[in-house]
Amino acid sequence: MSTIIADLLLFARKVDNYEVYSGAGTCWLSTTLYKAIVPSGKRWFLFGGIINRNVNSTITARIWNASANAILGLASEAAGTGFTAYPNASYLSPRFPFPLDTGDNVQIAFGTAQDVGSYASCVVLEVDV
C-alpha cells in the first residue's frame, strides 16, 4: 500500500450523505435534485453511491465544480424505477476514488418529481485541507 493511501486512511472519515427524500432535507434541494456539496475546508475522495427511484423517471448523475461546470459523468439511466449504483460501467474512467475540492458537488437530476420512497447517497472519504 502506498504511503499516500495509508495516510489518507488514517486521517479521513467516511461520509455517506445518505438521504431519503422528505421535502426538507440537506441534500435533496427539490423533488428532482439531490446535491451533495463538499464543505468549506474539506476535500472528498468519491467512491460512488446509490440512487433509488420510487417514481418512474430518468436520472443523470454528474460531478460539478464550484464554478457550476460539469466535470465528470457518473450515471445516466432511461426512465424506470428501482435501484442504480454509480459510477456505472459506462463511467469508470478516470479511476475512483475521484478527488473533489471545496464547493465541488455530486448532483443527481431526476426527470420526474420523486417522493418519500426515493433516496440517494454519495460515499466519500473526507479530509481537512
Quickly count: other Cβ atoms within 10 Å of residue 75's Cβ: 20
- Name beta bridge partners: 57: 80
Q: Whole-angstrom Cα distance, residue 43 to residue 61?
A: 20
Which range of residues forms the domain containing residue 91? 3-128
Report how far apart the first and last C-alpha atoms of the chain are (Å, whole number): 22
| 16-48 confidence digits (pLDDT tens) | 888 888 776 789 999 999 999 999 999 999 999
What pLDDT was estimated at residue 26? Answer: 85
Answer whether 46's CB lies under 8 Å from 63's CB.
yes
Answer whether 43's CB lies under 8 Å from 102's CB.
yes
What pLDDT was estimated at residue 53? Answer: 95
**Grid coordinates in use for 54?**
420510487
- Could you tell me the pTM of the whole model? 0.88
Q: Is the pLDDT of residue 68 over 70?
A: yes
CATH number, domain containing residue 28: 2.60.120.340
Domain count, the chain: 1
Helix (H, G, I), strand (E, B) or coil at 88: coil
Helix (H, G, I), strand (E, B) or coil at 52: strand
Q: Which of 10, 33, 49 is nearest to 112 (CA)?
A: 33
What pLDDT was estimated at residue 4? Answer: 59
